[in-house]
């Protein structure tokens, strides 16, 4: 018989896996991959969903049912999984996405993403999330919700997204998927 599964593993199997994959590699591209993400960042997001500063109908309900201990256990579980990379969308040298990621947009004073998310997209400790390998559809959606203010838990990102056009968001999201 299989050993009894308790704690975070049980919550993952019963709840999170349906949308994020048992190993944190979601298949549906509007659901974020959680594998390999910084645990501190994951705990902050769950707390923000619970408090409502990050508005999302699905995740607010989910996070509302979790204790601090559950959140920390789930964050540790997902952060220790390995992210599976997608096929690159656009990682060509000289692409608009690469230019924005590495150099920002001078005309509108958008800073380089690499400054806070790292040259390899692995993020920086502890609250600067990993972006590399994330689904482009999810990244684009986050940039949009930072711009509308629906995702109000990140003043820096709201300012940055507020200065970006749809085409710039799409280009950098595609680049990030292939990072
Ligand atoms: C976002 C955790 C269950 C759908 C997130 C994020 C975390 C998370 C940490 C934010 C990721 C990031 O910022 O990169 C969890 C945990 C779950 C769970 C620990 C189980 C307790 C689910 C389920 C669904 C779901 C069952 C689908 C019914 C989503 C979606 C987003 C999201 C759509 C993106 C929300 C947005 O656009 O802001 N989840 N999740 N999650 N999750 Fe979950
Ligand atoms: C979060 C993209 C520049 C700091 C995020 C997220 C995305 C993103 C998609 C959400 C990740 C997720 O939900 O898993 C970008 C892009 C940038 C950029 C495309 C360049 C155009 C920067 C810069 C800084 C920064 C320059 C620092 C000054 C942060 C922080 C978070 C974040 C702190 C976490 C917010 C939270 O706690 O919810 N970024 N970023 N980003 N970014 Fe950026």
CATH domain 7-79 topology: Cytochrome Bc1 Complex; Chain D, domain 2 (1.10.760)
pLDDT in tens, 9-37: 999 999 999 999 999 999 999 999 999 99
Alpha carbon of 73 to those of 5, 16, 56, 77, 79: distances in Å?
14, 13, 22, 6, 10
What is the CATH code for 96-177? 1.10.760.10
Cα 1 to middle of ligand 2, angstroms: 44
Q: Is the peptide bond before 24 cis (omega within 30 degrees of 0)?
A: no
Domain boundaries, the chain: 7-79, 96-177
pLDDT in tens, 32-91: 999 999 999 999 999 999 999 999 999 999 999 999 999 999 999 999 999 998 777 766
Tell me if 7-79 shares its fold with 96-177: yes
Is the pLDDT at 5 greater than 70? The verdict is: no
Task: Say how many CA atoms lie within 13 Å of 51 toward its Cβ.
Answer: 12
Nearest ligand 1 atom to the CA of 28 is: 33
The residue whose C-alpha atom lies closest to atom 36 belonging to ligand 2 is 154
- Residue 179 CA to residue 174 CA, distance in Å, equals 9
Ligand 1 pocket test, pick from 17, 19, 148 with the greatest ligand atom count within 8 Å of Cβ, gives: 19
pLDDT at 125: 92
Please, which residues bridge with residue 166 across strands? none
**Backbone phi, then psi, for 136, in 5-degree steps?**
-60, -40
- The residue with greater pLDDT, 4 or 49, is 49
């Amino acid at each position: 018989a299989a050993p009894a599964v308790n704690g975070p593993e049980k919550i993952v199997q019963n709840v999170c896996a349906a949308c994020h994959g048992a190993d944190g590699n979601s298949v549906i591209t509007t659901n974020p991959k959680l594998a390999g993400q910084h645990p501190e960042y994951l705990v902050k997001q769950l707390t923000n969903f619970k408090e409502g500063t990050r508005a999302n109908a699905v995740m607010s309900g989910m996070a509302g049912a979790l204790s601090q201990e559950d959140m920390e256990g789930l964050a540790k579980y997902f952060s220790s999984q390995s992210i599976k990379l997608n096929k690159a969308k656009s990682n060509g040298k000289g692409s608009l996405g690469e230019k924005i990621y590495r150099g920002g947009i001078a005309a509108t004073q958008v800073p380089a993403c690499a400054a806070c998310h790292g040259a390899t997209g692995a993020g920086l400790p502890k609250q600067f999330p990993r972006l590399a390998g994330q689904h482009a559809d999810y990244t684009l959606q986050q940039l949009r919700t930072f711009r509308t203010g629906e995702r109000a838990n990140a003043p820096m990102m709201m300012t940055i997204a507020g200065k970006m056009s749809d085409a710039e968001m799409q280009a950098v999201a595609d680049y990030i998927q292939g990072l």
